[in-house]
Structure 1
Amino acid sequence: MRHDRHDAGGLAFVTLEENRMYMKFAQSSLIALTLGLATPALAQDLSEDVSDAVGAAETAGVTDMIVNGDEVTVFVPSNEALSAAPQEELNALMEDTDQLASVIQGYAVSGTVMAEDVIQMAEDAGGSTNVETLGGGSLMVEVDGDTVMVGPEGGPMTTVVDTDLQVGNVTMHVIDTAFMPDTGM
């Protein structure tokens, strides 16, 4: 397999002949980019905003879904959201990679679900709806005017603060609070 390595501004680019590009960020976060779907500037923004969540995905071993999986949509807690979460619980999750993978899948839904789709689904259902997660649980989605909120059914809701970020086959919506998702267990 042929590959070329290029360095730019603290980022290392490795271009593979299958037209995939991987960026290794200074924070040791790995995000797969498919050419044409995301720019290096977007990837840098993602690194700054969600690098902690990306690091958790790497630790849990679920980054294969980014590189090789089907289309998926993830509600990703921002770095600020994760830093506000109980650190003892986060540390325990980081040590139990099976549980961490299950929690991460509780933030993800199958397919590409753009913000417009999320809003339409909730509005069609009278302002709120449930969506099934890859973890086997469900997320409640509520729309109130221009505000979209998600969270575990019956649990705390978090506000979506950035939408429709696409990296490879993954669509991300950044949320402002981390929560313990319903994992279907």
Structure 2
Amino acid sequence: MTIKKTLLAALAVGVLSVSTLTLSAQTDPMVGGAAMYPTKTIVENAVNSPIHTTLVAAVKAAGLVDTLNSAGPFTVFAPTNDAFAKLPAGTVDTLVKPENKATLTKILTYHVVAGRISSKELSAWIKKGHGKYEMKTVSGGTLTATKVGGKIMLTDEKGGMATVTIADVFQSNGVIHVIDTVLMPN
């Protein structure tokens, strides 16, 4: 190979590498129209999501900001504002009162599982578990994951169900899976 061809090949590889980096930078998932960056923590990304303002307010009221900013890793099933709006009127306002901090904390930590669980891993575990997989939450409860029509569904201890609407939003300290319903522990 001539020096000219070697230089052209190196230049082509360099351009390809730059193009790949540019594409990677553009593939940060969007949640509610806001980019989620894998270099930021769960809380740092969540505060930028316009569809998670209720969740962020609840996390602050429960005093869980430092926990969800720690190294983790955590898997968070993150209910949207619309998910919280499905609760009976006044529920969120009641839960964020200081006297209800323990209840709020239990509900929020029921949406968190230790470790970084991707949708691919969860799907494999569901298949291996003959159609379902039970996860222990940070609150000590159990969530049951299943697949319905290609979507991951979560069933809480009271029989309520949530659908994962956006999966695999990776963070520096875990992963978020956006869900459409607030899950409730026993």
What's the TM-score once normalised by structure 1's chain length? 0.71
Where 2:93 maps in the other structure, the secondary structure is helix
Instruction: Give, in angstroms, the shift of residue 63 of structure 1.
Output: 1.3
Q: Is the 8 A contact 1:107 1:181 kept in 2?
A: no
Aligned to 2:130, which of 126, 132, 141?
126
* Coordinate RMSD, CA, aligned: 2.4
What is the alpha-carbon distance in structure 2 between the residues aligned to residue 97 and residue 45 of structure 1? 20
Aligned to 1:67, which of 66, 69, 73?
69
Letter in structure 2 aligned against 1:90: V
Q: Is the 8 A contact 2:52 2:79 kept in 1?
A: yes
Aligned to 1:101, which of 86, 101, 105?
105
Where 2:90 maps in the other structure, the secondary structure is helix
Where 1:70 maps in the other structure, the secondary structure is coil
Aligned to 1:77, which of 50, 70, 79?
79
Aligned to 2:183, which of 162, 171, 179?
179
Partner of 2:24: none
What is the alpha-carbon distance in structure 2 between the residues aligned to residue 36 and residue 107 of structure 1? 20
Residue 50 in structure 1 maps to residue 52 in structure 2:
yes
What is the alpha-carbon distance in structure 1 between the residues aligned to residue 92 and residue 119 of structure 2? 28
Letter in structure 1 aligned against 2:141: G
What is the alpha-carbon distance in structure 2 between the residues aligned to residue 158 and residue 122 of structure 1? 16
Instruction: Give, in angstroms, the shift of residue 145 of structure 1.
Output: 3.8
What is the alpha-carbon distance in structure 1 between the residues aligned to residue 141 and residue 93 of structure 2? 23
Where 1:48 maps in the other structure, the secondary structure is coil
Letter in structure 1 aligned against 2:95: L
Residue 141 in structure 1 maps to residue 145 in structure 2:
yes
**Structure with the higher strand share, 1 or 2:** 1
Where 1:87 maps in the other structure, the secondary structure is coil
Partner of 1:28: none
Letter in structure 1 aligned against 2:134: N
Instruction: Give, in angstroms, the shift of residue 81 of structure 1.
Output: 1.0
Q: Is the 8 A contact 2:158 2:184 kept in 1?
A: no
* Shift in alpha-carbon separation, 1:153–1:98, aligned structure 2, 3 A: closer
Instruction: Give, in angstroms, the shift of residue 105 of structure 1.
Output: 0.6
What is the alpha-carbon distance in structure 2 between the residues aligned to residue 162 and residue 75 of structure 1? 10
What is the alpha-carbon distance in structure 1 between the residues aligned to residue 46 and residue 102 of structure 2? 28
Give unmatched runs, 5+ long, in structure 2. 1-35
Instruction: Give, in angstroms, the shift of residue 46 of structure 1.
Output: 5.2
Letter in structure 2 aligned against 1:92: T
User: Percent sequence identity over matched residues?
Assistant: 27
Higher normalized contact order (CA 8 Å, seq sep 6+, divided by chain length): 2
Instruction: Give, in angstroms, the shift of residue 55 of structure 1.
Output: 1.5
Question: Greater Rg, structure 1 or structure 2?
Answer: 2
Instruction: Give, in angstroms, the shift of residue 170 of structure 1.
Output: 3.0
Q: Is the 8 A contact 1:73 1:108 kept in 2?
A: yes
Give unmatched runs, 5+ long, in structure 1. 1-32
Deviation sequence 1:61-105 (CA, Å, 0-9, x none): 111122224201011111111122213222221111121111111
